Amino acid sequence: MQTLFTNIKELLQVREASVAFVAGADMNILPTIKNAFLLVEEDRIATFGPMESCPTLAGKEVVDATGKILLPSWCDSHTHLVYAGNREEEFKDRIKGLSYEEIANKGGGILNSAKTLQATSAESLYQQSKVRLEEVMRLGTGALEIKSGYGLIPEAELKMLRVIKRLQEETSIPIKATFLAAHALPEAFKSNKMGFLRNMLNEVLPVLKAEDLASAIDVFCEMGYFSPEDTAEILQAAQAYGLVPKIHVNQFNAIGGVAVGVQYNARSVDHLEILTDADVAVLQGSKTMPVALPGCSFFLGIPYTPARKIIAAGLPLALASDYNPGSAPSGNMNFIVSTACILMKMTPEETINAATINGAYAMELEEEVGSITVGKKANLILTKALSSLTVLPYAFGSSNIEQVYINGKPI
């Protein structure tokens, strides 16, 4: 089957030859074609170009995109969208003045989500998660990563990973699975962190490998959670299983975790709300993608990742939702892109690069999605009629999407 988009006001993120990611000053360059066509064959981008060279319409499904913008769907490289229940009671506590940390210290936070998840059946977990996944797909997400990490006991981590696998098998968009081995220390291991880590790794890694449940490993490297030394130990153990590191780091404190991530060739280092000059220096010359999660900063009222500092240092930056029940209960990438412009002072062009090709790189999908390139998956966003691409982030909270296409088909 062939679908031909004609009269596209502007086709965004056009890369004749795919790039792995864009960095520094290049992030502000978003290649586009005005008055364009794009042809989809089966599930792939077959060709595109200016309207003058548009192929004949005969025998094709034609979508007239007059006045509308077409761009690659969002690549959300950091989510926890498999979770059970939610944490609206903690939300009210925070409104009354308790901090994220204070809530976690009284047994709320990640431990609260773990308790609920442990008591939830795999079927129910799958059903709850599928609703969220379908919602973010309608909001334009065409590839994403999902982490475990709310199990905190091996059996429940495996339950999460198997639910992620089922979502991978039953969903039409690429999903990457990450084993978040160390998210918080459960009560039972309060004074035995090493025991917790050994148990988790020894019990989960062999099963994960046998059942092919994940391609990446994650750790929450933070004061009061897991140290840079713990992080190194986990990333070391994961090497034997071929798992790619992607770590939570520098959310509240800079404690040297970025350097550990880079040392172990982390694909991405995520959060970075607190970022030192030493962290920036370590990232320069590495292949590690910094990932900002502005939904978390917005929801918790913590600092925003210093995008200008990162980009000025010549580094790349990706944007992701962090969709989770505690610090970012929304997977809406349109909101993420707006927030990055409004509060992180990124340009619209930078945010689109960050939320497409750089997000794809952060989850090792840059050859499959993230740009308008022949052979890539036809996962696309068709906007409503817009005066320019700037309206996408500018009109925050508005629904600017007319239709999402996954594998070339409208959803």
Which of ligand NIG, Fe ion, none lies near 327, with the C-beta cut-off 5 to 8 A by kind?
A: ligand NIG
Alpha helices per DSSP H over 184-250: 193-211, 228-239
Among 76, 273, 322, 349, indicate the residue that binds Fe ion (CB under 5 A).
322
Q: Which CB sits closer to Fe ion, 10 or 145?
A: 145
DSSP class of residue 382 equals E
Which of Fe ion, ligand NIG, none lies near 73, with the C-beta cut-off 5 to 8 A by kind?
A: none
Which token pair is 180?
Answer: 């978040």
Which 3 state secondary structure label does DSSP give 185? coil
Cα–Cα distance, 405 to 411 (Å, whole number): 6
CB of 156 to ligand NIG, least distance (A): 14
Q: Which CB sits closer to ligand NIG, 151 or 348?
A: 151
Which token pair is 45?
Answer: 């981008």
Site string for ligand NIG, 346-375 (x = CB under 6 A): ------------------------------
Among 32, 288, 327, 373, indicate the residue that binds ligand NIG (CB under 6 A).
327
Which 3 state secondary structure label does DSSP give 218? strand
**By the rule CB under 6 A, 329 interacts with ligand NIG:** no
Secondary structure (DSSP) of 10-53: EEESB-SS--S--BGGGGG---EEEEEEEEEETTEEEEEEEGGG
**By the rule CB under 6 A, 337 interacts with ligand NIG:** no
**By the rule CB under 6 A, 268 interacts with ligand NIG:** no
Among 94, 132, 248, 377, indicate the residue that binds ligand NIG (CB under 6 A).
248
CB of 150 to ligand NIG, least distance (A): 7
**By the rule CB under 6 A, 251 interacts with ligand NIG:** yes
**By the rule CB under 6 A, 322 interacts with ligand NIG:** yes
Cα–Cα distance, 302 to 287 (Å, whole number): 27
CB of 120 to ligand NIG, least distance (A): 15
Distances (CA, A) of 221 to 122, 153, 254, 269, 300: 28, 19, 9, 10, 18
Of 35-43, 65-73, 317-325, 395-403, the window that binds Fe ion (rule: CB under 5 A) is 317-325
Yes or no: say if 48 and 36 are a contact pair by the CB < 8 Å rule.
Answer: yes
Residues β-bridged to residue 44: 41, 377
Yes or no: say if 40 and 3 are a contact pair by the CB < 8 Å rule.
Answer: yes
Of 6-14, 315-323, 356-364, 389-397, the window that binds Fe ion (rule: CB under 5 A) is 315-323
CB of 104 to ligand NIG, least distance (A): 7
DSSP class of residue 62 equals E
Yes or no: say if 161 and 147 are a contact pair by the CB < 8 Å rule.
Answer: no
Among 37, 39, 94, 109, indicate the residue that binds ligand NIG (CB under 6 A).
109
Backbone angles phi, psi at 313, to 5 degrees: -80, 5
155 C-beta neighbours (distance < 10 Å), count: 11
Which of ligand NIG, Fe ion, none lies near 296, with the C-beta cut-off 5 to 8 A by kind?
A: ligand NIG
**By the rule CB under 6 A, 262 interacts with ligand NIG:** no
**By the rule CB under 5 A, 273 interacts with Fe ion:** no
**By the rule CB under 6 A, 148 interacts with ligand NIG:** no
**By the rule CB under 6 A, 113 interacts with ligand NIG:** yes
172 C-beta neighbours (distance < 10 Å), count: 14
Site for ligand NIG in 273-302 (CB under 6 A): 296
Q: Which CB sits closer to Fe ion, 178 or 358?
A: 178
Q: Which residue has the tokens 């002072």?
A: 345
CB of 324 to Fe ion, least distance (A): 6
Among 148, 288, 324, 353, indicate the residue that binds ligand NIG (CB under 6 A).
324
Query: b/e per residue, 51-71, with b = 16+ CB within 10 A?
Result: eeebeeeeebeebebeebbbb
Q: Which CB sits closer to Fe ion, 68 or 87?
A: 87
Backbone angles phi, psi at 127, to 5 degrees: -65, -45
Yes or no: say if 39 and 324 are a contact pair by the CB < 8 Å rule.
Answer: no
Q: Which CB sits closer to Fe ion, 22 or 177?
A: 177
**By the rule CB under 6 A, 220 interacts with ligand NIG:** yes
In the complex, which residues of this chain contact ligand NIG (CB under 6 A)?
Answer: 109-110, 113, 220, 248, 251, 296, 322, 324-327
In the complex, which residues of this chain contact Fe ion (CB under 5 A)?
Answer: 322
